[in-house]
Structure 1
Amino acid sequence: LIWIDLYRYKEDIKDFLEERLKHLKKLSSNPCLVLFVGENEDLEKLNLENTWVFSVLKLLKEYFDFDKALELLKEELSGTKLNNKALIFLAQILGLVLIPAFINPALKALVLDLDNTLYSGILGEDGIKNLKLDQNHIALQKAIKNLKNQGFLLALASKNEKEDVKELFKIRKDFILNLEDFDALEVNWNAKSENLLKIAKKFNIHTSAMLFIDDNIAEIQNALSSGVKTLLADHNSAFNLKLFPNLLKFQTTQEDWLRSKDIAANALREELCVLSDEEYFKKLQIVLKFSKNNTQNAVRISELLGKTNQFIANYTRLNLDAVKNHMKHSLILSVSMSDKLSDSGIIAIFVFDKQDEYLLINDLCISCRALGRKIEERLFFKALEFAFDFFKIKDKRAKILYQKGDRNAPFLNFLEKIASLKEENYALIAHKNLTYEGLEIYEE
């Protein structure tokens, strides 16, 4: 974390700062967050990998609509030109928004109540035309729409009649959100905790990756039992959402845009699960593309290794610089998948090395939205085949490093099935010759 007061410099320091940052990045692969007080648009355009630069004054304006941050007369006593209010606001932005974005993966989905949350009133009692939108409701819907546009999934969990809700969105043209914005609807009279579990299953994500927004404290309490994050809707919902941790994405990748369409197609895929594997693959026209050391995929590789929890081996959490460095001297395979229903994008990462005569798997992960499509084992052993060829390993044995995490039970169960020897933090795997009939497989 680098803090710079531009008022203390007589000249433009962009070149000096860039040179110092480049030197720092040689010493550490950790991400850099630069905050500066003053005005310099060129600094904000500084383009260094794994480095983000923010104007303090612009942050205060964006998050708090606060532009009276400077108090120059007190600088000699306080050591800063920022007044007390600005410092408190900035501490909130740092602690709730910026720093959590570096430490934890971003949330994946928002689940919304309707009545007295997205508007004022009760649909079943007041009727569609009598529901009221105040400025907070409009601001909240705008904030949610913005998150949708960044690739977050949206769902409704509301105690209403589904046909009434569909009619609501058809009639109320003043709503910012449309029914088409929602990737899942659980509109019924079941407990919210039950509906939240259903939504997590539809999205194929852990409940802890979801944020549930409701105006009713009893519903919030009920939802907590499902493991979701919660936000109580009130007169300040839009502001509270803006400061909610792990909703900031420093980068939005193409994969974020593909996710919603891919999940919407899951219902059709589930109907075909009764078919044999070969028939299933042919019916869906599943295509797998294996890409070796493709630096164009580096951002997605780092992102997937950073946020996957259910099917991950070793939690290496390689950042962007570490990914590119590994590609220079070893092998990272990225695997993309598509079928006739949607393009899933990059859904699997394998981080390989060679250790003595073994193929060493430093880490691997498969996106949760690719699980359950009958491909995990074939994906794994086909990746091994490409790696054996890359390292010219004749004795086709692999050693995989792994850790037992809070939520990677799906991977650990998979490892139990394929390992010939399993120790506390590594396992040995003998290669299997599987049939890939029905799958289209390409190497890039």
Structure 2
Amino acid sequence: MDARPMLTLCGTYTLDPVARVVDYWIDFLGLPAGIALAPYAQLFQQMLDPASEFRRNRNGANVVCVRWEDLLPRRAGAAREPDWSAIESCVTELASALASFEHAVPCLVLVGPTSADGEAAGDPCAALAARLAQVPYVSVEDGARAMRRYRVGQVADPASDRFGHVPYTPEALAALGTTVARWHAAMQRRPVKVIAVDGDHTLWGGVVAENGVQGVRMDPPYLALQGALAAQNDAGRLICLLSKNDERDVRDLFAAHPQMPLRWSHLVAQRVDWNPKPGNLREIVAGLELGLDSVVFLDDNPVECAQMRAQCPATMTVRVPTEPERLAAFVDHLWLFDQPQVTEEDRKRAAMYRENASRAELRRDSQTLQSFLDGLELVVEIEPPSADEVARLAQLTQRTNQFNASLIRHQGGDVCPEGADALHRAVRARDRFGDYGIVGQIRARARAGCLEVDLFMLSCRALGRGIEHRMLAAVGAHAQACGLERIAVLYRRGDRNLPVRRFLESVFATEADDDSMWFAMPAAEAAKVSLDTSAQGWDERDAAPAPVAEGERAGPPAADPGALYERIAHDMTTAAAIEQAISARIAPRPDIAVGFIAPAPGMERDIAAIWRQVLRMETVGAHDRFQELGGKSIHLVQVHKLLLERLHVDVDITTLFQHPTVASLAAHLSMRADGRKTLDAAQQRGARMREARARAAKNAGVRA
């Protein structure tokens, strides 16, 4: 059984070409994901049937590809044009189907561009998004936006639509497939928490030390990048400045240019000096108690980028274009800026980390742990989560690594347990410096007299305050209330969850002797667990993130992800460039029963070249069967189109099925051409004879 996250696509038209684009990006980025195509044109069956591929997906994501023309009724008449007066009812029906069940995984509804030309009243895509705004894990994307973003010229393909229900051109399909892949990649990759950015030639044009505070350029492209970073700050990313300058000059620059979207107050940390940037970044990240693998570093200087990649390889380093005119496209196509969902906790994150600086100062001034906790005035609430907090709890499973006992990840509503005997608690905390928000969660189920906890996690910014002890005590108290004698916590060893292992080993007085095990104790004993602030050997380092070895990443991709995203933002910003990259992927000829026989010159070679292009294959033999090479009906639609464009031969799909090899198809087309030539010659002889008779009759009339 394939344990990879599965991306299930269903829709109203043929989706094989979209899946081809998504598959390219999954391979390009090294994402651990597979693609499943629902049966053709069974959109509503997939959404309403609990046994469908769409509804059974519990690990990955779902995508709904819709074209309004496929859902609208047809007007009477020979043209059978879609009746756009019914668009409102179509929107209502689709929204009702999507809202009729609980989505266990994230779902993207991608509305393809239409040929309405103003016939549709209002904006049906916006209307659909409004109706689904309160449905958890469902998001709507307008395909028309993808056409603009990827600069698609020709969108519709009437021929492919007629023969294979593929309504869009290859470039338009590349834009739609890339939109799906970009959304999916944002959920699959490790969360970006910090963006560290250079100043000179990156946030502004010029060098402040040489051009002066007033001499640097604040051209629109630089302001576009600044605006994007300010938006990232608003969405919860922490913005830091790494600049080789005098700090006073840079502070004066920010103060002297009020038109800058990025303000000094947006910066959670700065290192403006002449020290190496990798060392400065390590200091900042350590102070924030985060890992280098949660950082994106942006700099225009290739030397600085090379140093960062060499000394901090876990950081995603992306070189910014040196040409200002390319900055706007770079900003729009830097996938690392994407966030599929922004929670209220995200929006508060920058403020939370600033509050952490005040807590760190209190900790340094406190003589004992108890005096530190007393000074915090900490309040902890362990309560059932509300419906609008489920998204944050699912996000927590993705982002929490240090203090995550089981390392179970969730992306949607399946974070909520089912059954009357299930326990699910959100952990909130606040102190005199501010509100931490939701920092942890517990999930458990009763089994054979034991309350088994499979989710036990706490954000690293809340460690070392006894919250984890209160969580375990809450588990013990709940077990006692349910008449259960024991509790057990599932632990799975990971690359970075050493802090939770230390906690479990100390509280349960048991060493973790396996990569996966249950830590167990009597419920009554668990209910009494508390932090012993007088214990000797307490070390603040226990509350800090476990260090990550440079270059160490949990799982794929093995390639440098920063370099991959840099290539996308620099070179793959149009649908034409993306389609060209996909077309360059050539597969070897498969090992089939028929030996390779080179196509003969002329018609056979022309047809073989078309097959190679359509099938993305290195070589095609004259007697290779189309199906054995991986060809499908959707590929025959493309073959038909290219035969018409290149050879000016119009062949129906049935004929292509009947002649499954290059040689047989070439022979058929040659015979047809010969027959047409014979017919044409006969017709020409008949025309000449008729003309001769007419001339003879005319001449006879003149003599008479």
Residue-by-residue CA offset, 1:305-355 (whole Å, 9 max, x unaligned): 122122212122234321344476511111111111111111111111122
Q: Distance in 1 between matches of 2:307 and 2:419?
A: 47
Residue 290 of structure 2 corresponds to 205
Q: Is the 8 A contact 1:295 1:324 kept in 2?
A: no
Residue 91 of structure 2 corresponds to 14
Residue 364 of structure 1 corresponds to 456
Cα shift at 1:82: 2.8
Q: Distance in 2 between matches of 1:6 and 1:295?
A: 32
Residue 58 of structure 1 corresponds to 145
Out of 239, 251, 266, the residue aligned to residue 356 of structure 2 is: 266
Is residue 239 of structure 1 aligned with residue 323 of structure 2?
Answer: no
Is residue 353 of structure 1 aligned with residue 442 of structure 2?
Answer: no
Out of 158, 181, 186, the residue aligned to residue 271 of structure 2 is: 186
Cα shift at 1:74: 5.8
- Residues 410-421 of structure 1 mapped to structure 2, 5 A cutoff: 410-421=499-510
Q: Is the 8 A contact 1:196 1:223 kept in 2?
A: no
Equivalent position amino acid for 2:230 in 1: K
Q: Distance in 2 between matches of 1:423 and 1:73?
A: 64
Q: Distance in 2 between matches of 1:379 and 1:201?
A: 27
Secondary structure of the corresponding residue to residue 45 of structure 1? helix
Q: Distance in 1 between matches of 2:368 and 2:244?
A: 39
Q: Distance in 2 between matches of 1:78 and 1:195?
A: 57
Q: 1:195 to 1:383 in 2, by over 3 A?
A: farther
Residue 622 of structure 2 corresponds to none
Residue 375 of structure 1 corresponds to 466
Q: Distance in 2 between matches of 1:335 and 1:377?
A: 10
Q: 1:82 to 1:316 in 2, by over 3 A?
A: same
Is residue 87 of structure 1 aligned with residue 160 of structure 2?
Answer: no
Equivalent position amino acid for 1:17 in 2: L
Higher deviation after alignment, 221-230 or 172-181: 221-230
Q: Distance in 2 between matches of 1:329 and 1:46?
A: 34
Cα shift at 1:246: 4.7
Please report the RMSD computed on the Cα atoms of aligned residues, expressed in angstroms. Answer: 2.7
Cα shift at 1:295: 3.1
Q: Distance in 1 between matches of 2:219 and 2:530?
A: 60
Equivalent position amino acid for 1:80 in 2: V
Residue-by-residue CA offset, 1:223-276 (whole Å, 9 max, x unaligned): 223211122111334433433335333332221122211211223222332432
Residue 409 of structure 1 corresponds to 498
Cα shift at 1:114: 0.4
Q: Distance in 1 between matches of 2:269 and 2:419?
A: 38
Out of 422, 426, 433, the residue aligned to residue 330 of structure 1 is: 422
Gaps of 5+ in 2: 1-62, 74-86, 115-122, 534-704
Cα shift at 1:398: 2.3
Is residue 229 of structure 1 aligned with residue 316 of structure 2?
Answer: yes
Cα shift at 1:118: 0.5
Of structures 1 and 2, the one with the larger relative CO (CA 8 A, separation 6+) is: 1
Cα shift at 1:121: 0.9
Residue-by-residue CA offset, 1:264-296 (whole Å, 9 max, x unaligned): 122322233243232112212111111124334
Q: Distance in 1 between matches of 2:398 and 2:94?
A: 28
Cα shift at 1:434: 4.6
Q: Distance in 2 between matches of 1:199 and 1:326?
A: 42
Residue 65 of structure 2 corresponds to 3
Higher deviation after alignment, 234-243 or 207-216: 234-243
Aligned residues: 431
Secondary structure of the corresponding residue to residue 331 of structure 1? strand
Is residue 29 of structure 1 aligned with residue 104 of structure 2?
Answer: yes
Normalised by the length of structure 2, the TM-score is 0.57
Residue 347 of structure 2 corresponds to 257
Normalised by the length of structure 1, the TM-score is 0.88
Q: 1:221 to 1:103 in 2, by over 3 A?
A: same
Q: Is the 8 A contact 2:105 2:412 kept in 1?
A: no
Higher deviation after alignment, 219-228 or 8-17: 8-17
Cα shift at 1:222: 1.8
Cα shift at 1:377: 4.2
Residue 441 of structure 1 corresponds to none
Gaps of 5+ in 1: 439-444
Q: Is the 8 A contact 1:363 1:402 kept in 2?
A: no
Secondary structure of the corresponding residue to residue 69 of structure 1? coil
Secondary structure of the corresponding residue to residue 316 of structure 1? coil
Q: 1:275 to 1:386 in 2, by over 3 A?
A: farther
- Residues 122-161 of structure 1 mapped to structure 2, 5 A cutoff: 122-161=207-246
Q: 1:55 to 1:328 in 2, by over 3 A?
A: farther
Q: 1:15 to 1:265 in 2, by over 3 A?
A: closer
Q: Is the 8 A contact 1:331 1:352 kept in 2?
A: yes
Q: 1:133 to 1:77 in 2, by over 3 A?
A: farther
Q: 1:92 to 1:343 in 2, by over 3 A?
A: same
Cα shift at 1:370: 1.6
Is residue 277 of structure 1 aligned with residue 369 of structure 2?
Answer: yes
Percentage identity across paired residues of the two chains: 23
Cα shift at 1:141: 1.0
Residue 442 of structure 1 corresponds to none
Residue 638 of structure 2 corresponds to none
Please state which structure has a larger fraction of its residues in strand. Answer: 1
Q: 1:358 to 1:366 in 2, by over 3 A?
A: same
Q: Distance in 2 between matches of 1:243 and 1:221?
A: 22
Q: 1:360 to 1:230 in 2, by over 3 A?
A: same
Q: Distance in 1 between matches of 2:147 and 2:420?
A: 41
Q: Distance in 2 between matches of 1:106 and 1:246?
A: 9
Structure 1 or 2, whichever has the larger Rg, is 2
Q: 1:414 to 1:121 in 2, by over 3 A?
A: same
Q: Distance in 2 between matches of 1:162 and 1:389?
A: 59
Cα shift at 1:382: 3.1
Q: Is the 8 A contact 2:417 2:443 kept in 1?
A: no
